[in-house]
A and B are shown apart, each in its own frame.
Chain A
């Protein structure tokens, strides 16, 4: 399934483009379309502008995405922009749609949106390629929200500098993902760029642009993209309905005496932003959480089978559980997912 783009192929791609660019008639009356313009003509129509929550304290209310099915499935980054029921998507041709968040995988910061439309241009995930370091790429995104309405999103050129594992630690890079990424040599991960597409110069989909990522220790910024081959299992799970998002309308009343994180022995990190990732700050001694082996710095990813994107969601979800209920938590610890069962009522809590 994984297709590598051989280096030689990538190289010949550069040659073809460079030579062709040099040969473009510049001031002639019948200016022909450059090979790059032809590529963009196929890629741009699949790009979308996503508008949602934010717009304060340096948090943008917009980001990027791209259609990956003619029926309106959109791949985008899982960010605070999606923390709203009023998601709007603007297509390349300027059409506006309300979008539904089908699901997300907080471990990869990837989300799938759906709009109600048919016959849309798209970049198919099963046609995506993998690439090696040195491959010249194009990054398309609505960075800085420059494009509105039917204006095409921005296009940047660059190369994959390295294919590596993102060495993200809490306090260094503020994302949970620690797997394989493409690091790009261009400044692509700007405000609003998350969810953009990385493609080859002949228009093959390679990756999705990640978030703005800053190493808080040395104030450097990393421009990374998530290979489609890495995202694919999550996307498939979301499409299969296996990866829902916690929160929203439960259609039933809250518990009279609900569970709380504290009752389980969990102290979460201070809830400072609309979507503070639910990291465990500390574990109360002798508590169910302690007995189950939970540790500080664990990131709570799932509550039973629902994705928990924030401290707030976790608290709200627990309000629907009675104080005696057994809950299953999945946490991310050192690149491993660890599943535990907890009961606040003194029943067995086990790792």
Chain B
């Protein structure tokens, strides 16, 4: 330090320190803050492209190396990334899943099974004025991967930031005045107790250049929680839409201004000018509030919706479609994004850094280092990477599909994995029934009636019995999944986790398509049992829903099968004998 600098330093600090001497409370608060930062920073990572040409920040959330970052940080890095921890080491990582609209990416680091993991907080409990810490790698400053820590308060909660012509929509996000700069993208926002409450990723930039202006935004950790199951699936995931738009009316009520008649909300009875009361269990009081709720829910989820018409309140469950049509999301990924934090480039000449140019980041070790062809991908990354259209990394989808289906199959009796299934009992109309399912089709015999359904090349042809939406083909596909290798079924993938009527937790969902029918199988993540299925012959119509319950101990056969079509229960089958 030069004498002049030292003089300034002393001048600046003296009055304050003099005032602080003997003030135990303030010193204690400072000591607690230092301890908190020490305790909180180990899961913070610096994320780099393999050759260090770009980067950002991230945070580990599991000991086996799963970490969150921004989609806009991970995308330019490709499938293989390098991550620096505060232990000074650099780890290889692979992309797992991405949420381009929510600007979140899940990656997996290799090399340890005891990675430090952040503890997730509850971002809905965050209040304006709460202490906030941002940690990360602004301007890619840290050559030793020690995160930069900035401190501030929560400036706003439940903020909605328009996509403004871009793909990114920051709904229900947290706003902080802790300094956020290029390179902080993807890093954690911690609360005053060191719990992870958000992923930093956006800031208000206007005329002052791309540096902190005291208004940064973080994706709420509760949004990330809802998407985590989807991100594990290795897919490129989409956000949800109701198929309806809302606005304030003259009386400041939030009312439907447009609705698609192909939407599930329309089929459930929502109409133009209905007042939205609540969505997904949260009250709706403003159009922004509506978008805040909707913008943090994954495509395909079924959530409660309450609306009011002529003083009468109606409560329904609605299935949310994707914001983007099939393939549209992939196309839009090419569009530019203006509001995201820019990714610092390694080439200082292209940088927009203010003031003195920070030192370039430490050269990154590369296996091979053969520049013309780039470094060789390490074996561990190759083993965890499988490219497939529509997926960020198909490897993880296959892993989860196998995990869910194998656990389920392990619960089934050997007899359930082959041959004909025969079930008998009583229907909800107190009728006796005999249900038979085999490779050729399914039939149900009632006291005075009989329905037969034969599997053909087009399974959508004859959805027996009438009014059920296809109970027999649905049960046929249930047996088919149990009795045939997954490759024979058709296209079978892991969707992620989603809610299910009557359940508080999220269930594992397997999506299986066979000869025109799409089935979503819902599995209990705790006991691996099949809780229900939904079968569509046409995405613009209601599915046939089947709910399985009353499983006996150590049996793979449910005691009760409930069939629902649209808003009406079709039948309940109660078993009196088990195969």
- A residues whose Cβ falls under 8 Å from a Cβ of B: 7, 11, 14-15, 18-19, 21-22, 24, 26-27, 31, 33-34, 36-37, 39-40, 58, 94, 134, 143-144, 146-157, 186-188, 190-191, 212, 221
Contacts and interface: CB of A to CB of B under 8 A. Distances in A.
30 contacts: A11-B19, A21-B192, A22-B29, A22-B33, A24-B192, A26-B192, A34-B129, A36-B129, A36-B130, A37-B128, A37-B129, A94-B286, A134-B16, A146-B156, A146-B204, A147-B156, A149-B248, A149-B286, A151-B158, A153-B156, A155-B128, A155-B155, A187-B177, A187-B212, A187-B213, A188-B214, A190-B206, A191-B206, A191-B207, A212-B207
Interface string B17-30: 00100010110111
B204 to A, nearest CB: 4
Contact of A157 (B25, B153, B206, B212): B153
B214 A155 contact: no
B208 A221 contact: yes
B159 A146 contact: yes
Interface stretch (B119-127, B375-383, B552-560): B119-127
Contact of A15 (B29, B129, B207): B29
Given A11-B23, A34-B129, A146-B156, 13 more contacts: A24-B193, A27-B122, A36-B153, A37-B130, A39-B129, A143-B214, A146-B161, A147-B159, A154-B177, A187-B212, A187-B213, A188-B214, A190-B214
Interface of B: 16, 19, 23, 25-26, 28-30, 32-33, 121-122, 125, 127-131, 152-156, 158-159, 161, 175, 177, 191-193, 195, 204, 206-208, 212-215, 248, 252, 285-286, 288
A132 B437 CA distance: 84
A190 B121 CA distance: 31
B177 A19 contact: no
B29 A18 contact: yes
B76 to A, nearest CB: 27
B125 A31 contact: yes
A27 to B, nearest CB: 6
A33 B28 CA distance: 22
B129 A187 contact: no
Nearest to B207: A58
Nearest to B195: A26
- In the A-B complex, the 5 residue pairs with the closest CB atoms: A26-B193, A36-B129, A187-B214, A18-B29, A156-B177
A130 to B, nearest CB: 19
Nearest to B208: A221
Contacts, number: 124
B213 to A, nearest CB: 5
A68 B214 CA distance: 26
A156 B214 contact: yes
A309 to B, nearest CB: 23
A57 B45 CA distance: 40
B285 A150 contact: yes
B214 A146 contact: no
Contacts of B248: 149
B130 A34 contact: yes
B125 A19 contact: no
A18 B204 contact: no
B156 A151 contact: yes
Given A15-B23, A19-B28, A27 B121 contact: yes
Given A154-B175, A187-B213, A190-B213, A19 B122 contact: no
A144 B28 CA distance: 37
A18 B131 CA distance: 9
Contacts of B122: 27
Contacts of B30: 18
